[in-house]
Structure 1
Amino acid sequence: MTMHDDQVDVTAEIVAALIREQFPQWSGKAIRPLASTGTVNAIFRIGEDLSARFPLRLTDADEALAVLEREARASAELAQVSRIPVPEPVALGVPGAGYPMPWSVQTWLPGTVVFDADPSGSDVFAEDLAAFIAALRAVDTRGRIFNGDNRGGVLDRHDDWMAECFQESEGLLDVPRLRQLWSHFRELPRTGADVMSHGDLIPGNVLVMGDRLSGVLDTGGFGPADPALDLVSAWHLLQPGPREVLRRALDCDDLEWERGKAWAFEQAVGVVWYYAESNPTMSAMGRQTLDRILESMK
């Protein structure tokens, strides 16, 4: 089952043809599709040291290229400042071989995604995560501010989306309770200036080796946002004890902590219903995050 109505099919045969046509220096490398919980790109491994990412949703090729170029710049910037390994951009491909959009190639990172591991009870993992977030926050924004896309700006601008989510979640979640929580979250004031943020610290984007953070994926969203945005990781990735370790390490005040909870809530409510049938792992992540948030508010 596809995740999106406008999803584009990508096969290993298509990828092999694109490689032969556009990057013949890699044509002898094995091409392997990766089982992934990702919702934006299909991922293929090229040999042992590269991965290729193919946007899943059909869009204008020029617009898609602009997005990939922006993501490559963001990923390269983050790679220069991160204390944790992150993928680095290698090349951009163009449409061909039956695939209608541009695509990207990055370096491959070893490790296990958190969806397939469980470091949520580890204080050391929480400390690693806090150090990663702190390093990003320390990067100069160079006058840049949040660009208005997705999460990371003003909470109440998501009212329309949340209304749709609540309607679609009838029969799946305790919608009256969730509406009540959103009425609280949407009023939380914004006080801190934008800082540089990863923007999507969910289990599928975080790699571990044992209980140590070993890498962070999907870095194309690196940019300025609400300082609370990367605190979604506290709710997506951690149990209560390690969650407090992360909070202390980042010296979060009550308002910043609550806004981080609000951004995690906004994301979790959306993924539960949207991926209920097409991506059960993502949907289950949303439920777990909501359970953690609700438990914290008793």
Structure 2
Amino acid sequence: MSTEPMHPDQYALDDDLVRRLIAGQFPRWAGLAVERFASGGTVNAMYRLGDAMVVRLPLVAGGIGDVLSEREWLPRLAPLLPVAIPEVLGAGEPAEGYPAPWSVYRWRVGETPEAGALRDPVGLARDLAGFVEAMWRVTLPAAPTAHRGGPLESLDEETRRAVALLRDIPQEGVDCDAAEAVWQDGLRAPGATGPQVWLHADLMPGNLLVDGGRLASVIDFGCAGAGDPACDLFPAWNLLPPVGRRAFREALGVDDPTWRRGRARTLSQALIALPYYRGTNPAMARNARHVIREVLGEHA
């Protein structure tokens, strides 16, 4: 994990501050060990608290809404989903000079899956499809708007700016003309015609936990809400190999326009992430490169 801050306005955090926050607000846990947990997350820092809990604290002001949204929606979503999701055990408030709300969660057991090293890619693909389908069936009213869950056109300016940045980083070797062609194809695809559906909206490998090669838990619901179902097709390109990608699509029964929008959305996220995180978050940059290779290779 890079020691450089990922964001110019990032909050300062360390083990000692987290210990003080815990001692001040949850004295029953004050004697437990606190240790930073290395992850590729971009919005929150994670600290193990003893053996059975984890503390998640926003790194930037933009993450505050995610914390509050999870507190409201996780208990309501949990009984509707086929795998474990985060459980909030404690709601922390700003203190000790730290300006944001934060939460203590139950620790979920499992490993982060790695593209190219999946034990059961087809089984995992079907598990992921089952989770996505269950999210799409959720009917809880008054859903928030999913992060980046709106029309694909809303991402156009940011995506084109990212392609322009990558043209100036030739060492990354991105075929920017091909990337623009895939993006244009997504924009040409018909938009979603049905009602918006509930989405996780951030199905990155770092937000999945597997056990024995199968999906055990999905974490980080900070982006969750209603939007275009294409937003939850990310695993097809950011994690699954071609055989798993086909199984994922078949299990969901996704039509061609939705698939094209999903591919474009996944590529857009990778194109934006790569120039931003290449010097500060190796995991995010590595996944972005993987997505770009997979999408452009499939579209060639």
Q: Give the TM-score normalised by the residue count of structure 2.
A: 0.91
Out of 129, 147, 167, the residue aligned to residue 164 of structure 2 is 167
Deviations 1:74-113 (A, max 9, x none): 2222212111011112222112223222211111101011
Look up the match of 1:109: 108
Task: Kindly indicate whether the alpha-carbon contact (under 8 Å) linking 2:19 and 2:30 is maintained by their aligned counterparts in 1.
Answer: yes
Moved more, 66-75 or 123-132: 66-75
Q: C-alpha displacement at 1:118, in angstroms?
A: 2.8
Letter in 1 for 2:28: Q
Letter in 1 for 2:185: H
Task: Kindly indicate whether the alpha-carbon contact (under 8 Å) linking 1:74 and 1:220 is maintained by their aligned counterparts in 2.
Answer: no
**Within-5 A mapping of 1:171-210:** 171=169, 172=172, 173-190=174-191, 191-210=193-212
Moved more, 108-117 or 280-289: 108-117
Task: Kindly indicate whether the alpha-carbon contact (under 8 Å) linking 2:87 and 2:105 is maintained by their aligned counterparts in 1.
Answer: yes
Structure 1 segments of 4 or more deviating over 3 A?
A: none
Look up the match of 1:282: 284
CA distance in 1, matches of 2:53, 2:137: 29
Letter in 2 for 1:26: W
Q: C-alpha displacement at 1:67, in angstroms?
A: 4.3
CA distance in 1, matches of 2:150, 2:140: 15
1:227 and 2:220 matched: no
- SS where residue 221 of structure 1 aligns? coil
Task: Kindly indicate whether the alpha-carbon contact (under 8 Å) linking 1:120 and 1:239 is maintained by their aligned counterparts in 2.
Answer: no
How many residues in Structure 1 have an aligned counterpart in Structure 2?
Answer: 292
CA distance in 2, matches of 1:193, 1:26: 44
**Within-5 A mapping of 1:121-136:** 122-136=121-135
Deviations 1:3-43 (A, max 9, x none): 11111121110000111111101101111110111000010
CA distance in 1, matches of 2:74, 2:223: 8
Letter in 2 for 1:2: P
Letter in 2 for 1:168: L
Instruction: State, as a whole percentage, how many aligned pairs show the same letter.
Output: 35
- SS where residue 182 of structure 1 aligns? helix
CA distance in 2, matches of 1:136, 1:3: 31
1:155 and 2:152 matched: yes
Look up the match of 1:137: 136
Task: Kindly indicate whether the alpha-carbon contact (under 8 Å) linking 1:114 and 1:208 is maintained by their aligned counterparts in 2.
Answer: yes
- SS where residue 39 of structure 1 aligns? coil
Q: Say if 1:297 and 1:117 are closer, same or farther in 2 by CA, change over 3 A.
A: closer
Q: C-alpha displacement at 1:167, in angstroms?
A: 2.1
Q: Say if 1:116 and 1:297 are closer, same or farther in 2 by CA, change over 3 A.
A: closer
CA distance in 2, matches of 1:221, 1:78: 14
- SS where residue 274 of structure 2 aligns? helix
Deviations 1:263-287 (A, max 9, x none): 1111111111111110121111011
Q: Say if 1:117 and 1:96 are closer, same or farther in 2 by CA, change over 3 A.
A: farther
Look up the match of 1:214: 216
| Gapped regions of structure 2 (runs ≥ 5) | none
Letter in 1 for 2:241: Q
Look up the match of 1:50: 53
CA distance in 2, matches of 1:188, 1:234: 18
CA distance in 2, matches of 1:275, 1:92: 30
Task: Kindly indicate whether the alpha-carbon contact (under 8 Å) linking 2:81 and 2:131 is maintained by their aligned counterparts in 1.
Answer: yes
Look up the match of 1:253: 255
Task: Kindly indicate whether the alpha-carbon contact (under 8 Å) linking 2:115 and 2:238 is maintained by their aligned counterparts in 1.
Answer: no
- What RMSD in Å do the two structures reach over aligned CA positions? 1.9
Q: C-alpha displacement at 1:163, in angstroms?
A: 2.4
Letter in 2 for 1:112: E
Task: Kindly indicate whether the alpha-carbon contact (under 8 Å) linking 1:72 and 1:220 is maintained by their aligned counterparts in 2.
Answer: no
Task: Kindly indicate whether the alpha-carbon contact (under 8 Å) linking 1:121 and 1:238 is maintained by their aligned counterparts in 2.
Answer: no
Letter in 1 for 2:51: E
CA distance in 1, matches of 2:264, 2:281: 23
Task: Kindly indicate whether the alpha-carbon contact (under 8 Å) linking 2:115 and 2:241 is maintained by their aligned counterparts in 1.
Answer: no
